[in-house]
């Protein structure tokens, strides 16, 4: 009697393997099934790469010491829960307050990294808006470039619609650069959020399957000085993802991709001259 094949591994099961969540026996069973699924193996490798890259991108925040006030809140919550079962129903409230405080602290750290008001983390507050713009471009590249099924929202087959839609959302007439002479064809694009409004990402791919993304959108005028309304061509290797970026009249552009410096620079120059 032939054995009925197992169902394909679900996304939740793949996430469990990525994060190592589950009992040793359960994870071992998933790895056994994974050995017979090449597609799932490829997705797992991509997700592991995304996780590692995201951790490197946010390593500075993760390395920050926990604020004393957060530790005090945690200790107060522990003391509160030891007062007896009569007060146990308030434990959930204390935990919610603690989680909200922690989320607020992390959000504050991210706001400082974006160039927000100075607080107790000067190392984050000193980040330039342009650097944060590139950070977001690299983050978007890291998330979407490895995608197999859904790398873009609108494909190149609907390029006219894509450009019209994104131009309307960004409040500026956009143009998709033609990189076919450099061996890269348009895959498509998507809409993304930014601190100064909507942003866009165009994705390109060559015959070898290498992808580059062009991230663009308005800079936050309240955080960008007059001298930064125009920024010359600059190179930025964040989290191992090379990128070239520039700012023109308060509108930022960043081209990111895992290419040699010279190759990526040639692409960025082609984009710059066309836009």
Strand 184-194 and strand 154-155: the pairing is antiparallel
Taking the C-alpha atoms of residue 248 and residue 255, their distance in angstroms, rounded to an integer, is 14
CA proximity to 110, closest of 74, 62, 55: 62
Residue 166 CA: distances (Å) to CA of 15, 17, 163, 247: 32, 36, 5, 19
Token pair of 112 as six digits: 């400082």
Q: What is the per-residue pLDDT across 145-191, written as a single tens digit (0 to 9) for each?
A: 999 889 999 999 999 999 999 999 999 999 999 999 999 999 999 99
Q: What is the per-residue pLDDT across 83-124, written as a single tens digit (0 to 9) for each?
A: 444 444 444 444 444 444 444 444 444 433 433 333 333 333
What phi and psi, each to the nearest 5 degrees, are found at residue 155? -80, 170
pLDDT over threshold 60, residue 73:
no
């Amino acid at each position: 009697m032939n054995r009925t094949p197992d169902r394909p591994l679900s996304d939740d099961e793949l996430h469990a393997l990525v994060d190592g969540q589950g009992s040793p026996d359960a994870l071992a069973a998933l790895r056994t099934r994974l050995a017979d699924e090449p597609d799932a193996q490829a997705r797992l490798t991509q997700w592991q790469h995304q996780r590692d890259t995201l951790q490197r991108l946010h390593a500075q925040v993760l390395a920050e010491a926990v604020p004393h006030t957060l530790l005090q809140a945690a200790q107060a919550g522990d003391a509160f829960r030891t007062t007896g079962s009569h007060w146990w129903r308030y434990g959930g409230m204390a935990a919610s307050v603690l989680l909200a405080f922690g989320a607020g602290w992390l959000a504050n750290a991210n706001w400082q990294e974006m160039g927000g008001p100075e607080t107790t983390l000067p190392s984050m507050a000193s980040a330039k808006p342009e650097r944060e713009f590139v950070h977001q471009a690299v983050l978007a590249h890291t998330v979407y470039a490895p995608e197999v099924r859904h790398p873009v929202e609108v494909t190149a087959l609907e390029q006219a619609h894509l450009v019209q839609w994104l131009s309307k959302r960004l409040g500026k007439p956009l143009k998709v650069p033609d990189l076919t002479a450099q061996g890269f064809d348009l895959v498509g694009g998507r809409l993304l959020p930014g601190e100064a409004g909507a942003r866009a990402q165009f994705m390109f791919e060559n015959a070898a399957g290498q992808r580059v993304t062009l991230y663009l959108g308005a800079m936050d005028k309240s955080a960008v000085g007059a001298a930064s309304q125009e920024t010359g061509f600059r190179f930025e290797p964040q989290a191992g993802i090379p990128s070239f970026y520039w700012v023109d009249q308060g509108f930022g552009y960043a081209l990111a991709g895992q290419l040699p410096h010279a190759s990526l620079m040639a692409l960025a120059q082609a984009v710059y001259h066309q836009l």
